[in-house]
Structure 1
Amino acid sequence: MHIHNLNTQSSVLNKYIAELRDINIQKDSMRFRRNIERIGELLGYELSKTLTYVAREVKTPLGTSKTKLAQDPLVICSILRAGLPLHHGLQNCFDEAENAFISAYRQHTSATQFEIKVEYLAAPSLEGKTLILADPMLATGKTFVNVLEAIKHLGTPKKVHLVSVIGAQPGIDFLNRELPVDYTLWIATVDPELDAHGYIVPGLGDAGDLSFGSKMQG
């Protein structure tokens, strides 16, 4: 798997990540969502550099301009519910992309053990298209693997990009072992470890709850 970690170089991205982590700033759920959205835009911009471009002519009021435009058919698939702000950021970059949504959650079998349950799915065909699979938190890596298995019946994408805001190194190592080498991960920053419950350390907490409010446990 190819990995692009945007935080290897300092940029305005640092500010957005710092605000996501800050326990005082993240109390403002609207700002929290907006920061994830802005990070999605930056990740989408970097990802766009790898797409296939063809020359096009655009007529202006005063003449003709030649430019190169991406021709890849894209599908942005976000993992509910935490993935919605990230989806919006990617959609701001790729406004002609098709959209897909899938639910995935942890079902605990003990205090420290859990399975990933995938349920709701709404998606177009993926056959021959470029799939952008978005989930802001990459903890164990199991969610990405289970979701990719759940959408296999939708067709074989030409290319698969995984997009996350914060990941843990153990989860990235897991994806490296489990996924094809031609998959690509785009991530804003990587933290060193997971705690005993499988949460990213230092991380930022529950991105879904911080974006949309706390939820009742089923």
Structure 2
Amino acid sequence: MREVHVVDHPLVQHKLTLMREAERTTKGFRQLLNEIGMLLAYEVTRDLKLEDVEIETPLTRMQAPKLAGKKLVFAPILRAGVGFVDGMLELVPSARIAHIGLYRDPKTLQAVEYYFKAPPDVAERLVIVLDPMLATGNSAVAAIDRLKERGCRDLRLVCLLAAPEGIAHVHGSHPEVPIWTAAIDSHLDAHGYIVPGLGDAGDRMFGTK
């Protein structure tokens, strides 16, 4: 699929399988989401721009590469998106954080916004939207809409699992936004859950129903 990157690294696939298991504990699920978030961050930042700067090693001065431009922004969609944040911050500790509070109406499956907070200069930064389950795509589209209203133009979406319906919805609304995911599953069920999936990521991470 155009602009969809499936991260097939063996560690990512192994951890995803562990997360799918119904008997996985809340603690285990949360830890795996943290770990897989770090691995996905490595992939989504693979092409960040570098610039040469002069530094001094213990032996001599040299030109060496550092990240160029402003620090990036991680934008988790609440609740489940926060499960990615700690792992990603281990890799990019200076990143800024934007929080986007959305919940899915159980009847319409549409995204309802209840909170939005972002750095004041978010429009000048690369923004990586974090949404573990790209099911209908309604939450991801709503989050990207909101960020674009704030002037953001350099956007990427990272998810743990994606359904073809969600990918189609995101690219139908925002065709220029690339997606990184650990797997593309079969389809959505009548309740909008990904099949075979892993259930509700937020409930499994927080121990709720």
**Alignment match, 1:172:** 167
TM-score, structure 1 as length reference: 0.88
Report the Cα distance in structure 1 between the residues aligned to 2:35 and 2:109, rounded to whole angstroms. 31
Could you say which structure has the higher strand fraction? 1
Q: Which segments of 5 or more consecutive residues in structure 1 lack a partner in the other structure? A: none
The answer to whether the aligner puts 1:71 opposite 2:82 as a matched pair is no
Report the Cα distance in structure 1 between the residues aligned to 2:172 and 2:78, rounded to whole angstroms. 25
Which of the numbers 80, 86, 89 marks the counterpart of 2:84?
86
The answer to whether the aligner puts 1:6 opposite 2:7 as a matched pair is yes
- Report the AA paired with residue 11 of structure 1: P
The answer to whether the aligner puts 1:136 opposite 2:132 as a matched pair is yes
How many residues matched? 206
Alignment deviations for residues 41-92 of structure 1 (CA, whole Å, 9 cap, x no partner): 1111112221111112332333345432222421111011111121222222
Report the Cα distance in structure 2 between the residues aligned to 1:189 and 1:72, rounded to whole angstroms. 31
Q: Which segments of 5 or more consecutive residues in structure 2 lack a partner in the other structure? A: none
Alignment deviations for residues 1-60 of structure 1 (CA, whole Å, 9 cap, x no partner): 6111113xx512121001100112x22x22211211111111111122211111123323
* Cα pair 1:126 1:156 within 8 Å, conserved: yes
* Cα pair 1:75 1:129 within 8 Å, conserved: yes
The answer to whether the aligner puts 1:212 opposite 2:209 as a matched pair is no
Report the Cα distance in structure 2 between the residues aligned to 1:205 and 1:106, rounded to whole angstroms. 15
**Alignment match, 1:154:** 150
**Alignment match, 2:21:** 22
**Alignment match, 1:200:** 194
* Cα pair 2:110 2:139 within 8 Å, conserved: no
The answer to whether the aligner puts 1:163 opposite 2:158 as a matched pair is yes
Report the Cα distance in structure 2 between the residues aligned to 1:69 and 1:180, rounded to whole angstroms. 30
Which ranges of 4 or more aligned residues in structure 1 deviate by more than 4 Å? Answer: none
TM-score, structure 2 as length reference: 0.91
* Cα pair 1:54 1:71 within 8 Å, conserved: yes
- Report the AA paired with residue 92 of structure 1: E
